[in-house]
Chain A
Amino acid sequence: MAMGLLFTGAIMVFLMAGLHVATAIFFTAYLADWLDMGVLPSMVGNLTWNTMNEFLLVAIPLFILLGELLSRSGVAELMYKGLSVWLRWLPGGLLHTNIVASALFAATSGSTVATAATIGTVAQPTMAKLGYNERMVLGSIAAGGTLGILIPPSINMIVYGALTDVSVGRLFIAGIIPGLALAITMSAIIVVVSLIWGDNHREDGPLPSLVLRLRMLVGLLPVLFVFAMVMGSIYAGLATPTEAAAVGIVGALMIAASNRTLTVAMLHEAFLSSVRTTAMVMLVLTTAFVLNFSLSLTGLPQQLSEYIRDLNWSATTTIWVLVLFYLLLGIFIEAMAMMVTTVGIVTPLVVSLGFDPVWFGIFITVMMELAIISPPVGLNLYVVQNLRPIKGSINDVFIGVLPFVVAMLIFVALLIEFPGIALWLPNQVFN
């Protein structure tokens, strides 16, 4: 236990001293190994080659590129408009469009910031409209963006799958219902808050005719098409999840071509951005594997499991302690870093308590979503702050996101109480 605290302390000190996350992880691994078997220096070459050369992780750059291509191909605006005419009658009006558009765009994008920035940009008109509670507008975009990693595809789930040897295909399918359920929970919160704070927006103009509204639904097709290609090729037995990412890219290229947005310049912009993001993720991930190697040699994960088991907490208590733990961690630490530094130890513990590793993958994804919208380290908050036409205090964003933090916590409770939310669909699909 003392060892565990030492390593946790070391990594926290390194991180807080402003080291790069990868460096902090890497030297913690060296420290752990130096205090234990001293074998890491002779293994580092093999470990990094092994991680970086892993075919399953090829899905990471492919899904990042897919999101980049799609958001550059001009599908987001039409999708937003198509949704808005159908959703604005709800209490909360266009706020629901923000959530649903995020959920839909999430079905093709693997990251949260890209989702929030894309939807936030097309949703900007809602911010200027009178009658909308601006804080709720900001909150709905920041929170809606986090659906990017819960609704497949999801970079974070691929990383979780790689670190824990859980099937990425299962994780993806498992994320669909929770993603929809969380979106619905967010919408429900919007209804509740709108009824409490007063829902006095009626500035959206006359509703277009039914025929026009139906025609506007065409705007949803490109995104649905790519989603169907990706998930459909997995489900129909055409492709593995890694291969499905490639199928999605070909789909996105086709859409960009048909929208006449496919140019060499556009491609090069997308390449620069996606290779950079890939490099960032892979450096952290590579060092995470090095840390996993060191820690498992020390036997710490097993000791920690035994320690927790000796506390004789119920499985539910343990999970709620973990919720608390991740909430606190998520305040200060970037979401992906939070996951890669902990799953090596926490997953075996949780599995030994009888939880399904696929379920835990969904659980930790939701905890990452919370981390992404909890200040001060929560990038989505700053994304929406910067989208505001008239800058106000960042506190507006912090307050606006609170109802959605509540929505996520309610959803976490549901996920713990009814694990079937995550497990039912993969069990149907795969058995």
Chain B
Amino acid sequence: MSFQNTEARIRTISDWLCIAGGWGLVGLSIWIVVNVLLRKFASFSFQGVDEYGGYFLAIVSAAGFAKAALDKAHVRIDVVTRLFPLAGRAIFDVVALGLLFAMMWIIASKAVLLTYESWSMGALTPSVLRTPLWIPQSIWALALVWFTFVLAFLLVWAFGRLLRADFAGIEDKLGQDDIETEVAAEIADARARLATSPKETV
């Protein structure tokens, strides 16, 4: 199994997690709007839109972490590091990735622990729904574990490259895109959106 293959698979999974999250957002919006209308005009309110909305946010953001990492969307500041030569930049990249992994290792393992506690004490939410907390928490924790795994995968790869002194390869995969590339992507995106505009009628 080559790096490229595995990476491509990881990307596909991460993309589909985002798309599923997006459909969820649309569904949540419709549910909220229906609830708003029923509350106003029928004095009826679904219980727990806020509660499920919260779980949903936790899960969607955790599920999006990996996509954001693969697209280098997690913010870094490179005012200083970009002054270094290529090898230096590559080392900063690996250190940053390593510490991001360390942080997510801590967070993900605590999340798993929290889920286990909720399950073992049979914790329910104090709301009307009496949701067993371990259910939303376990999905959330799983998404965090997935992100941690993706980071571990990148880290192992980066160490391999470091041993082979392939700094350009590391910089290409992990380095901050120079601003030109980043912005070009942003603009290509804006153009793509506008390309779908309807033809002028006036």
Contacts and interface: CB of A to CB of B under 8 A. Distances in A.
A246 B110 contact: no
Name the interface size band of chain A: 35 or more
Given A243-B32, A278-B60, A78 B200 contact: yes
A20 B151 CA distance: 13
Nearest to A233: B36
B69 to A, nearest CB: 9
A74 B202 contact: no
A390 interface: no
A76 interface: yes
Contacts of B32: 239, 242-243, 246-247
A27 interface: yes
A242 B53 CA distance: 10
Residue in B63, B136, B179 with the greatest tally of chain A CB atoms within 10 Å = B179
A45 B114 contact: yes
Contact of B187 (A77, A117, A260, A278): A117
Nearest to B93: A18
A177 B74 CA distance: 33
Given A52-B57, A261-B197, A385 B75 contact: no
Interface string B5-46: 000000000010111011101101110110110001000000
A55 B35 CA distance: 15
Contact of A246 (B33, B183, B193): B33
Name the interface size band of chain B: 35 or more
Interface string B51-89: 101111110111111011001011111111100000000
Contacts of B136: 53
B95 interface: yes
B103 A23 contact: yes
Interface string A5-26: 0000000000111111111001
B186 A45 contact: no
Contacts of A219: 202
A364 B79 CA distance: 23
B76 A18 contact: yes
Nearest to B26: A249
Given A71-B190, A382-B182, A253 B26 contact: yes
Interface in A113-144: 113, 117-118, 120-122
A413 interface: no
A274 B25 contact: yes
Contacts of A351: none
Contacts of B33: 243, 246-247, 250
Contact of B114 (A41, A46, A74, A113): A46
B53 to A, nearest CB: 4
Contact of B54 (A53, A76, A215): A53
Given A261-B197, A276-B67, A120 B57 contact: no
A376 interface: yes
Contact of B196 (A27, A72, A279, A379): A72
B92 to A, nearest CB: 4
Contacts of A48: 107, 110-111
A270 B179 CA distance: 22
A399 interface: no
Interface in A36-62: 41, 44-46, 48-49, 52-55, 57-58, 60-62
10 contacts: A17-B92, A18-B76, A55-B57, A58-B56, A58-B57, A216-B202, A243-B32, A275-B22, A279-B65, A333-B77
Interface of A: 15-23, 26-27, 41, 44-46, 48-49, 52-55, 57-58, 60-62, 65, 71-74, 76-78, 81, 113, 117-118, 120-122, 212, 215-216, 219, 233, 238-239, 242-243, 245-247, 249-250, 253, 259-261, 266-280, 282-284, 287, 332-334, 336-337, 376-377, 379, 382-383, 385-387
